[in-house]
Amino acid sequence: MKTIEEKAKEIFGARAATYTASAPHVDRDALAKVIEAAQPQPTWTALDIATGTGNTAFALAPHVANVIGLDLTPEMLAQAEAQRAARGLTNVSFREGDVHALPFADASFDLVVSRLAPHHFSNLKHALNEIRRVLRSGGRLVIDDRSVPEDDFVDACMNELDWYHDESHVRQYRPSEWRKMLSEVGFVVEGAEPYNKLRPLTSLTANVSEENVRKIYARLAGLKEEEQQKLGLTEINGEPYLNHWYVLLSAHL
Kindly list the domain boundaries of the chain, sorted by start residue.
4-148+168-197+244-252
Q: Is the pLDDT of residue 105 over 80?
A: yes
pLDDT confidence of 107, banded at 50, 70, 90? very high
Interstrand relation of 239-252 and 135-147 (parallel, antiparallel or unpaired): antiparallel
User: What is the dotted CATH code of the domain comprising 4-148+168-197+244-252?
Assistant: 3.40.50.150
Cα–Cα distance between 218 and 223 in angstroms, integer?
Answer: 9
Angle between helices 210-221 and 152-165 (to 10 degrees): 160
What's the pLDDT tens digit per position in 162-195?
Answer: 999 999 999 999 999 999 999 999 999 999 999 9
Give mean pLDDT, residues 57-79.
97
pLDDT for 114 equals 98
